Amino acid sequence: MKKSTHKPALLLFLIITFSSNVFAQSYEDQRPKVRLGFTCPENTHRQLLVTADENATSGVDFGYDAVLNTEEPSDMYWIIENGNFLIQGIDSIDENTTLPLGLNTIANGMCTIQVDELSNIPDSLEIVLLDKNDNTYHDIKNNSGYSFNIGSGTYLDRFELHFSENNSLSTDTFGTLEKDIQFYFANNSKTIVINNPKLKEINQVEIFNMLGQSVSISKNIKNQDKIKLNTNNISGGTYIIEIKTNDGKLSKRVLIK
């Protein structure tokens, strides 16, 4: 695979990394970092870096942000104040962080946006890509990334990187409830299938996107041993299904296709 290299940007990154404390070079850098990768139809690969530093802001900061000086025919970049950047420094990486991305391709075909590497990112922090083309959220931390077909051109307002704490999307269960109720998403029928042989009373079933936002809620559910709930109005992507009962709640991450 061909990899693009940019020596000026690399030099600036080294200066950023090592100049923050010139008198303590042995200090281990504990700042959170995400290296985001982009593979285009021609199979070239671009890697972007975002670092959380308390001295940086969401705008352009000299010494923390590196401009994309040499743009490839097919490329991806951070968009900061209408400029294209290879490296970005921000004050924090958390649920309130939204990072716009731009990309361009010279050929039609399959592209992939993925997490190349993480440093000092807590396990509880989910990394989610929003594709505004169909308003779908894609978990790119726990899989091989988000792949999509795209036509040649420039896309400055289609993709955003988001983050969410998965404690709000808990997959914990309570007591023996998980033995009494089993459920899954059936992609062939676009339904949530709930097996409830002990006829536990289900108060509601709710679907959340990867940002913890509710996209569907079902109440007044019949007390049956097998329940099917239609989800035709939900776009493809990764979601959390949460079932609330009188005995507690169950939740599960599912991929809706």
Give the end of a domain, one of 114, 136, 165.
Answer: 165
Give a yes or no: residue 213 inside a domain. Answer: yes
Run of H or E including 178: helix 177-180
Q: 44: domain range?
A: 2-165
For residue 236, the Cα-to-chain-centroid distance in whole angstroms is 14
211: confidence class by pLDDT, cuts 50, 70, 90: confident
Give a yes or no: residue 170 inside a domain. Answer: no
Could you tell me what percent of the chain has a pLDDT over 70? 84
- Write down the mean pLDDT value for the chain: 83
Which pLDDT value is given to residue 114?
Answer: 95
- Section 127-139 average pLDDT: 84
Same domain, 206 and 240: yes
Same domain, 43 and 10: yes
Same domain, 36 and 155: yes
Same domain, 109 and 134: yes
CA atoms within 13 A on the CB side of 236: 8
Give the end of a domain, one of 130, 165, 200.
Answer: 165
Same domain, 94 and 193: no
Here the CATH number for the domain that contains residue 240 is 2.60.40.3080
Q: What is the pLDDT of residues 153-165, one digit of tens each?
A: 999 999 999 988 7
Q: Which amino acid is at 144?
A: S
Which pLDDT value is given to residue 176?
Answer: 58
- Section 106-129 average pLDDT: 92
Which pLDDT value is given to residue 6?
Answer: 47
Same domain, 105 and 190: no
Lowest mean pLDDT among 25-29, 94-98, 115-119, 148-152: 25-29
Find, among 80, 93, 96, the residue nearest to 33 by Cα.
93
| Pairwise CA distance, residues 182 & 68, whole Å | 50
Give the end of a domain, one of 165, 195, 230.
Answer: 165
Give the CA-trace dihedral at 234, 245, 169, 136, to 10 degrees.
0
The pair of structure tokens assigned to 29 is 């850098």
| Nearby residues of 195 by Cβ (< 8 Å), 6 or more positions away | 181, 182, 183, 225, 226
